[in-house]
Structure 1
Amino acid sequence: MASNTSGTTQNPSYSQFACIGSGFSAICLGAQLQRWYGITDVYFFEKLSNLGGTWFANQYPGAACDIPAALYSLSFELHDDWTALMPPWKEIWEYLKGVADKYNLTSKITFNATVEKCEWINETGRWRLTIHRNNTNDPQQDNVFFHECQFLFSAAGFFNEPRDLDIPGLETFKGPVAHSSRWRHEIDLRDKNVVVIGNGCTGTQIVPAILPIAKRVTHLTRSKHYFFDRHHDQKARYLLRQLPGGLWLERFLIFLRSENNFRGFFMTKLSARFRRSQRAESLGYIRATAPQKYHSLLTPDFEVNCKRRIFDTGYLSSLHSPNLTLTNQTPARILPDGIEFTSGETIPADVLILANGFKVYRYHATIPVLGRNGTSLAQHFDKFGGPAAYNCTAMHGFPNFFLIVGPNSLQGHTSVIMAAENSVNFALRVLRPILTNVHKKGSSIVEIRQEAEEQDVALLQAALKKTIFFSGCKAWYLHDKGNGEQYNGTTYPFSQAWFWWRCLFPTWADWEFSVSGLASLLPAFRLSECCVNC
């Protein structure tokens, strides 16, 4: 890609496809473009110094996948050499790097590049990106350049902006502070009093990993979670892989088991019965594994599936360690050398590790994308009361633009990589009439109809009202719309199998196709339903 390396580039570079981010979703897009259409004219803009997204950013001690890797991988690039059912981050990253190299995508990524704005140019039918390229060696050599594309994808992900710590006094702390997604490898934990704040999936991976190193670890809990054993039969996995198609069979069996858990998300008698069995299993495991003195701190007082379940990586057994303290006391403020609680008690701290999550809810709105008439994503979402998109992927007023793992894409029971791959495949199916010129009308722009998006979002939100999330759960999935009503722009209310099916067959009547440059003069037309096999 041609671009100036100093100052501001006024003449934009161009590619047919452009993508924000370089994690799983982006690599999937680049690979599928080649596999389906033989298209290699795509560029990626990554704000970090290497590819991988979440799996490059999160290098904290103990970082690992919490979904079986056989399912947490791309269906067209199965891997037969995972060292564990849920492998460490480095193994996931190496897998992703291998896929990127196989499809020659690494050379198409601009690293240390922050996309400052994406603007739809109606006259040309293109997206123009304003990109700030950071020179990590000399900030004075930073530069801004422009890039244009016909089709724009966002693969920025949910978990990229650390949540601010809501405890006063952080700026007074004298020791090092590290957020899990901004891990500082230079921090020496040996002979240190370490305080870990946050006890979700991340915090419970960090604690057992640093216990053998630190002098003392204090873990501040803010909520309770359902823990499950990561049990698996290594011999069964080995035998499966000896069979013809064994990798596919293993993936399919894990998928079926994951989908089975989906039945516990509804407010029905059958779902309630399933949740009771899951609760009994989890509490039995907690009581058998954790010290009795901590049982009250670990036993949830809400229903299973209100929050993401945690597959134990040795955290519960680590609570027996004499150099670990688990507490749910409320911090009043951070001191230069410790933490003071509202009770007046203080504890020493040499290092603070923040595992307090991310600014998940409004992440889409922070993407600087301006559609027709300069409408931003935030303004578009405000019309619905929160993040929303047709089939979690497309929005009216944002032509030729697709979100991968967009609003309502997440599910607490299965792999997000499946959702990402389904989203990519859906977008590329929608684009097929343009990319293959199947209707011979020369269209170059596609946009979801407003009424189609509104109807789809209304249906999805109505379905969510019937799930466990609206039973009184307090989780980051939910957002207060400001009128006392809660909105869920995060989770998907149907099974992943249903999402796959929806992505397999686009409803062509919901889409409008037009010609760039002439869109204001020619009426938009819709593909007929007979084009379902396009």
Structure 2
Amino acid sequence: MSHTRNRQYAGVLITGGGISGICTAIELIRRNNFRDFVIVEKSSQFGGTWNDNTYPGCCCDIWSHLYSFSFAPNSSWTREFAEQEEIHQYLIRVAENWGLYQKARFNTEVEEARWDETKNNWKVKLRVGGGKEAEYGEYYTMTCDYLVSGVGQLNNPYYPKIPGLETFKHKIMHSARWDWTHSLEGKKVGIIGSGATAAQIIPEVAKVCNSLTVFQRTPNWVSPRGDRPISATRQLAFRYLPWIRKLYRSHLMDVRESYHRVAAVLDSNEGSSLKQDALDHLACQIPDDIELREKLTPGYPVGCKRVIMSDDLYPALNQPHVTLETASIDSITSNGIQVPGKEYDLDVLILATGFRTTEFLYPIKVYGLGGKSMEDIWKDGPCAFLGITVESLPNFAMLYGPNTNLGHNSIILMIEAQARYISAMLAPMLKARANGQAFTIIPKSDRLKEYNASIQARLNASTFAHPSCNSWYKTSDGVVTNNWCGTAVEYQKLLSTVDWDDYEVSGYSQAFDPRNKVEKVGRVVEEAQVPFIGLSTIMVVLAAIVAGIVSKSSFFVP
């Protein structure tokens, strides 16, 4: 038999084909020239959240030129804030360019991962989701030397625990599972939720429905978005003068980094300024309805929940056929939603209720040293050293893990730093494997506790922990498990070296001796290194030369 394809072993198994999985795979190739990895993805395509979320109005609230990989710039973004389809196509293109489709297994979901202490590797149980491959066997097990989780925080939809939800006899859609075969034209629509996702859906649904009722638990701070097309002239300049594109990205990064004080520092001058801008924005867009403005004015500090960026949310809510309901929901009936003293009859119910963000890795069952389950490991709450490695889980790493989310900047800046760090941490394992040794690495328990205590101390003093608001950043008992405590640059610098004294390491006798060593990882320096404002005129002139015309639009006003 000549066919020797091994489907049950990989040096590295990466779970998830979104931004984290794509970035990790590419870093393994770039840094280590390593291709013995497999990416398993439960959906049918690369893209992660940008593959799953296709609801009307879906877009990014980070500038396109910052919401992209530093090693895979895109000069052809068509808008300052890209829409879902354009971001998804970008991620597919990056995966294609790096040959990742050869390494991917789609419609494949991880059900369980168990560390084998006798063989020092992971046994990962996979379920095939459908199609021809499922006919051969719905389940199979893979062995890997190293397991990387790239499932992220915005993965599994959260369905609210509202009495009667299952009794609603008409159409129910979660925003992350949008059904485009079901028309909303002329329908009576209800939306539960008023966060960032709802803010994008509401203006689009309001254009076609007969009536729209938005059920709001708490209002949000809303800032103007200022989206606009990126002209063909600017795209040409970004393509043929890449240093202009790099300077523009640096400018955007600096602007967003400065926003950290707005998002995280309680009672900062910057936060007060944004609060006033948001109030002015509300008054400008809803000038005549005081009662509606009051319903839309938060009673908590700016930043403790993610600030919504929108130019069309308030005008949509101010239309006659749109109702903002702020009373608590008593129950869902077969025909609608019951609030105190009133029932709304609905044809369609949209759940813009977010994700199970604080349940990292859910619903994957993970068992580490001694068969210890993830529930036991994290019985006191999710935590990971640098947000990457976890106690009792050897040869394991995760991206976009506990305390690595940002409230102010592009998450891709964090993911790239994590992927570089993981790739560097994997390098000695690859040397050990070449020598037939079983290299294992696990964070020291005391070092992890020290690290977690230090960041929680900072987070407890931040806006994120403010008791007056609930958010997906923190658990029900108020612990901030999702957000990072500082700036993106601070985190990048923290991950620019691997200090092997932070880890318990074995199997290195001939391949690698980690004792008293610090390995330099480096980081991609993208913040501006020269003053930006003085260069604007020169850049516009050069862009005009490239395009052959004089652009009337400013290059560098986000």
TM score, norm. by length of structure 2? 0.86
Spell out the pairing of 1:110-121 with structure 2 (5 A cutoff): 110-121=105-116
Does the C-alpha gap of structure 1 residues 208 and 137 become closer, same or farther in structure 2, counting only changes over 3 Å? farther
Counterparts of 2:264 and 2:330, CA distance in 1? 38
1:19 maps to: 14
Counterparts of 2:271 and 2:346, CA distance in 1? 39
1:309 maps to: 307
Matched AA of 1:175: H
For structure 1, list consecutive stretches of 5 or more residues without a partner in the other structure.
5-10
Q: Does residue 376 of the first structure (1) align with residue 373 of the second (2)?
A: yes
Does the C-alpha gap of structure 1 residues 114 and 266 become closer, same or farther in structure 2, counting only changes over 3 Å? closer
CA contact (8 A) 2:162 2:332 kept: yes
How big is the shift at 1:142?
5.3
SS at match of 2:9: strand
Does the C-alpha gap of structure 1 residues 333 and 396 become closer, same or farther in structure 2, counting only changes over 3 Å? closer
CA contact (8 A) 2:188 2:212 kept: yes
Spell out the pairing of 1:105-254 with structure 2 (5 A cutoff): 105-136=100-131, 143-231=138-226, 238=234, 241=238, 243-254=241-252
CA contact (8 A) 2:424 2:521 kept: no
Spell out the pairing of 1:375-414 with structure 2 (5 A cutoff): 375-382=372-379, 385-414=380-409
1:341 maps to: 339
CA contact (8 A) 1:19 1:44 kept: yes
How big is the shift at 1:167?
2.3
SS at match of 1:479: coil
Counterparts of 1:530 and 1:151, CA distance in 2? 21
How big is the shift at 1:490?
0.7
Counterparts of 2:208 and 2:263, CA distance in 1? 40
Does the C-alpha gap of structure 1 residues 177 and 133 become closer, same or farther in structure 2, counting only changes over 3 Å? same
Q: Does residue 321 of the first structure (1) align with residue 309 of the second (2)?
A: no
After superposing the two structures, state which structure 1 stretch, 199-208 or 421-430, moved more. 421-430
SS at match of 1:331: coil
* 1:53 aligned to which of 38, 48, 51: 48
* 1:278 aligned to which of 270, 274, 289: 274
* 1:504 aligned to which of 479, 496, 501: 496
Counterparts of 1:228 and 1:533, CA distance in 2? 37
2:445 maps to: 450
How big is the shift at 1:171?
1.9
Aligned length: 513
Counterparts of 2:485 and 2:118, CA distance in 1? 39
1:264 maps to: 262
SS at match of 1:322: coil
2:506 maps to: 514
Q: Does residue 527 of the first structure (1) align with residue 515 of the second (2)?
A: yes
Matched AA of 2:337: I
* 2:33 aligned to which of 13, 19, 38: 38
2:286 maps to: 290
Counterparts of 2:36 and 2:433, CA distance in 1? 20
1:8 maps to: none
After superposing the two structures, state which structure 1 stretch, 298-307 or 355-364, moved more. 355-364
Counterparts of 1:429 and 1:94, CA distance in 2? 29
Question: Deviation string for 1:76-107 (max 9, x for gaps)?
Answer: 00101111111111111100000110111123
How big is the shift at 1:113?
1.2
SS at match of 1:217: strand
SS at match of 2:378: helix
2:533 maps to: none
SS at match of 1:325: strand
Counterparts of 1:393 and 1:148, CA distance in 2? 21
CA contact (8 A) 1:217 1:325 kept: yes
After superposing the two structures, state which structure 1 stretch, 466-475 or 154-163, moved more. 466-475
2:526 maps to: none
Counterparts of 1:174 and 1:474, CA distance in 2? 31
Counterparts of 2:276 and 2:364, CA distance in 1? 42
Counterparts of 2:519 and 2:294, CA distance in 1? 59
Matched AA of 1:355: A
Matched AA of 2:484: Y
Aligned residues with identical type, % of pairs: 28
Matched AA of 1:348: D
CA contact (8 A) 1:3 1:13 kept: no
Counterparts of 1:190 and 1:479, CA distance in 2? 38
After superposing the two structures, state which structure 1 stretch, 33-42 or 435-444, moved more. 435-444
For structure 2, list consecutive stretches of 5 or more residues without a partner in the other structure.
523-558
CA contact (8 A) 1:332 1:341 kept: yes
CA contact (8 A) 1:135 1:141 kept: no
Counterparts of 1:368 and 1:57, CA distance in 2? 22
Question: Deviation string for 1:187-225 (max 9, x for gaps)?
Answer: 111111111111100011111112222122111111111
1:490 maps to: 482
Counterparts of 2:308 and 2:175, CA distance in 1? 17
Counterparts of 2:204 and 2:62, CA distance in 1? 19
Question: Deviation string for 1:342-369 (max 9, x for gaps)?
Answer: 1x21222001111011111123364322
How big is the shift at 1:235?
7.5
After superposing the two structures, state which structure 1 stretch, 253-262 or 228-237, moved more. 228-237
1:429 maps to: 424
Counterparts of 2:339 and 2:298, CA distance in 1? 23
Counterparts of 2:249 and 2:133, CA distance in 1? 46
Matched AA of 1:460: I
CA contact (8 A) 1:367 1:377 kept: no
Matched AA of 1:346: E
1:467 maps to: 462
1:351 maps to: 348
Does the C-alpha gap of structure 1 residues 457 and 115 become closer, same or farther in structure 2, counting only changes over 3 Å? same
How big is the shift at 1:442?
5.2
Matched AA of 1:489: T
Counterparts of 2:54 and 2:183, CA distance in 1? 15
How big is the shift at 1:530?
5.5
Matched AA of 1:357: G
Counterparts of 2:133 and 2:390, CA distance in 1? 39
How big is the shift at 1:29?
0.9
